[in-house]
Structure 1
């Protein structure tokens, strides 16, 4: 009997089989004139005939859309041409053998495709592959796919993690892209650390109960352990200093929304939280195990943790009960208080389909943009409006997969009221992916 297709090779996630380029795309509505730049979105797109053992093991493909002067100039998609794409296996030590499939950023004049177990891979503004990048020889370990750029200093903060000591190493690069500081973080363990956060003064790290485990054979050797607590570590950004670890209610944090210092001097961390049931159900989808659900998120919900460095005490609260993931904010508020955040709301908890959700953490209210039957949005990327004065004066960019039409669009929403501003018809269906960024021309 033939095995059913893996969920990450089916439906919205069905890979495309080639690379194309198209020019002068059809636009419905009016693209804001300040949208001059490139929207790049990375994700896993296995080559034809390849069935990865885990969603996160698929080869990386970047989809790019160039907007300028109210026009959608081009679309192109390119695999990141690493040794992994050519079939070289990654066994845990070859830093250049990367899928390069999780995120893409721009810093220090370079476009970098990221996957957390490996070195970054540099690509051009037209998505041609340049090669592995090690910051001039100063990066000798992996790099997280979720670095944080400080909007005030321009510094890039990131980390490496490992199943073996040192488990966690913190790096800072200046605005020019030169690593200026590397610090081993004390007290960490062999945890799966996908994301972290910064405030304007602190770095905030996460040790979850999902830890290195030889018995996990999916290719991502991490598994939930009930005897390992969820811990959040806070340290200074500027120098080697004491790390304060806070033990909180058990759960897993894959992505963070933001972190900041509140008016009482406490560190606040916000983001989606998985309990064990939600994590293990989601993991079944990620590996295509029997009994998996219909979506890759089985119930992470928006939470807030408040960490008091003066007393060593922590508190937490649930902010919403919808299943949400892939959070984003106006990046000008990275490390500082943000009132608004955005995410994908997954079917369930009263929702029949996918939505883009906006949270207001001051009023506790939410606003939903439903995408309709058979349509799935990606991560919402915030782009500030020219002359905007409010935190939510701007636009959200998201690629929407439409199964019924076998097509995709770049959707531009008003970040204030989630009204549709413009839609760009893409020349092909773009598989649901992971993370991306808007990169303005002036950068």
Structure 2
């Protein structure tokens, strides 16, 4: 059975439409029916996980999966692969019991549920808005190799109501993959990170081809998870994952309910997967983005105007081999691309001889500088910077030297152990550096800003692409767990460590990427608040934490006790009351 995602249009709704709209999907969290073949030490853990009740059961009546004969046959083949072909001892980076433990364990969907403020009060600039965090949350407990990044996207939204208690809602992004597997009653889509190795990988690809030939999978609908980040532009909220097109979402400003609108190709103009880290210019409200992948052109640049209309593509053919380009940066006049030593291995993927990404020690990382409104790549310039492996950019801007020289400045965490980027995340270490590129002479200089293990940096959104002073980063302890938040002051560059404030969470507590929200009407760059979900692994409680971004110790000014565990995730954002009300909705 094929699940279709129809093209759609947006119009502004009335408040009545918002109150009466209902989700089309109400699937509970379901455990797969087959028993996994995992590494022996993992078997007792998985048994315990499966026997443990989830945080919240659903009361919705859900129809049984519509399993046809072709679906049942392919499911049986998958079971044979899982039980007989997968190695008895899985590599830890694809062993679900290695990664899906403790607060990485998936949770059920949660309808809008009241929460309690247990400390302080919600700052005025947050009232009426919603903090929304994306992250992987497998619909089924895997019975095959599984990587941390391969879970279905789930949004956890906390609506900070102006006239009542905060409301927490957790909903899956109803991607084509999610709906297809919900119908099949089991995982059926191929796993990109963990499903390509050895004979088992070849066997799974054969089953995938069989599913396509029998009409079970429509590859034109995408394979994406929409589990990485969120973007709000053109009056619409999107869930992003760089293996597919964006998925348009809705958050009800009165109840906090989350709805999936559908997969968005922007009137047929977006035909390839889009980065999960687009950049929004705070002045023009344009959104700048790119696509990358294993098929030429390996990098394509494009933008959206303030209304969400996509421009034409600018293919970058000077990228001769595919590499992992997770993020980039913009200034007022340029776009900066990070070509790292983490490269794609399309041949290895096809042959099943290795992971989809690898480390190329012979490659020199480089930064590509392209005029922001270029219509082709003729003006792109590449600057080689040894060891400059960037996964997340913090900010970039333009400066003028004493003699009129033109400089580009980029601030970003540098991965010092990039060979562990996907297979041994806990061994990653990143420190923040500032790079200055003299556009007149081509000379590149760099200075360290921190020595701590910092990443997932955010700034005041009004300074995107402009010179700024402060940034806030998550402290890895080790990755993918976050033990606190650090504040950097770029004005201290060249004087040692630029960290001027830290907030370590309580023992046994871990959070995620902070998000900065400026205070109403303030002109001070650091006058605002940092938002994050924090989980206590000792008590099992999850909380929403608000920190004062300009205080010497990033003091906690408000805490909300959440009614359900919120798993560790990836990236999030905050939508103000005005932004929630300005959303464009599908009727």
After TM superposition, the score normalised by the length of structure 2 is: 0.70
Is 1:192 paired with 2:324? yes
1:54·1:218 contact (CA, 8 Å) conserved in 2? no
Aligned counterparts, 1:257-272, within 5 A: 257-264=394-401, 265-272=406-413
CA shift digits 1:252-306 (9 cap, x unpaired): 211111111123221111111112xx223342335xxxxxxxx4x6211111111
Distance 1:328 1:72, change over 3 A: farther
Which is helix-richer, 1 or 2?
A: 2
Is 1:39 paired with 2:131? yes
1:274 aligns to what? 415
2:476·2:482 contact (CA, 8 Å) conserved in 1? yes
**Rounded Cα–Cα distance in structure 2 between residues aligned with 1:121 and 1:149:** 18
**Rounded Cα–Cα distance in structure 1 between residues aligned with 2:145 and 2:575:** 30
Between stretches 40-49 and 153-162, larger displacement belongs to 40-49
Is 1:419 paired with 2:548? no
Aligned counterparts, 1:209-228, within 5 A: 209-213=341-345, 214-215=347-348, 221-228=356-363
**Rounded Cα–Cα distance in structure 2 between residues aligned with 1:182 and 1:415:** 38
1:153 aligned counterpart, secondary structure? coil
Distance 1:96 1:359, change over 3 A: same
Is 1:255 paired with 2:388? no
How many pairs were matched up?
430
Deviation, structure 1 residue 106: 1.4
Distance 1:237 1:95, change over 3 A: farther
1:31·1:70 contact (CA, 8 Å) conserved in 2? no
Larger radius of gyration between Structure 1 and Structure 2: 2
Distance 1:52 1:29, change over 3 A: farther
Is 1:243 paired with 2:372? no
Distance 1:95 1:271, change over 3 A: farther
1:321 aligns to what? 451
Between stretches 124-133 and 68-77, larger displacement belongs to 68-77
1:17·1:48 contact (CA, 8 Å) conserved in 2? no
* Structure 1 unaligned spans of 5+: 287-294
Deviation, structure 1 residue 129: 1.3
Question: Which of 107, 113, 122 is 1:22 aligned to?
Answer: 113
1:24·1:71 contact (CA, 8 Å) conserved in 2? no
**Rounded Cα–Cα distance in structure 2 between residues aligned with 1:309 and 1:72:** 53
Deviation, structure 1 residue 112: 0.6
CA shift digits 1:71-100 (9 cap, x unpaired): 543100011111222245258865632110
Question: Which of 229, 235, 239 is 1:103 aligned to?
Answer: 229
1:323·1:346 contact (CA, 8 Å) conserved in 2? yes
1:332 aligned counterpart, secondary structure? helix
Distance 1:122 1:219, change over 3 A: farther
**Rounded Cα–Cα distance in structure 2 between residues aligned with 1:323 and 1:7:** 22
Distance 1:110 1:90, change over 3 A: farther
**Rounded Cα–Cα distance in structure 1 between residues aligned with 2:362 and 2:131:** 42
Distance 1:149 1:164, change over 3 A: same
**Rounded Cα–Cα distance in structure 2 between residues aligned with 1:362 and 1:218:** 48
2:505 aligns to what? 371
**Rounded Cα–Cα distance in structure 1 between residues aligned with 2:383 and 2:41:** 44
Aligned counterparts, 1:9-408, within 5 A: 9-35=100-126, 36-50=128-142, 53-69=146-162, 72-85=165-178, 86=181, 87-89=187-189, 94=220, 96-125=222-251, 126-188=257-319, 189-213=321-345, 214-215=347-348, 221-240=356-375, 241-264=378-401, 265-275=406-416, 278-286=417-425, 295=426, 298-347=428-477, 354-363=483-492, 364-408=498-542
Deviation, structure 1 residue 23: 2.0
1:72·1:424 contact (CA, 8 Å) conserved in 2? no
Deviation, structure 1 residue 345: 1.0
CA shift digits 1:191-240 (9 cap, x unpaired): 11100000011000011011111436699611111111111000101123
Which is strand-richer, 1 or 2?
A: 1
* Structure 2 unaligned spans of 5+: 1-38, 43-95, 182-186, 193-218, 252-256, 493-497, 580-587
Distance 1:327 1:134, change over 3 A: same
Cα-Cα RMSD: 2.2
CA shift digits 1:100-133 (9 cap, x unpaired): 0001121112111000121001121132111100
After TM superposition, the score normalised by the length of structure 1 is: 0.91
CA shift digits 1:4-40 (9 cap, x unpaired): 3544311332221343431253342011122121111
1:266 aligned counterpart, secondary structure? strand
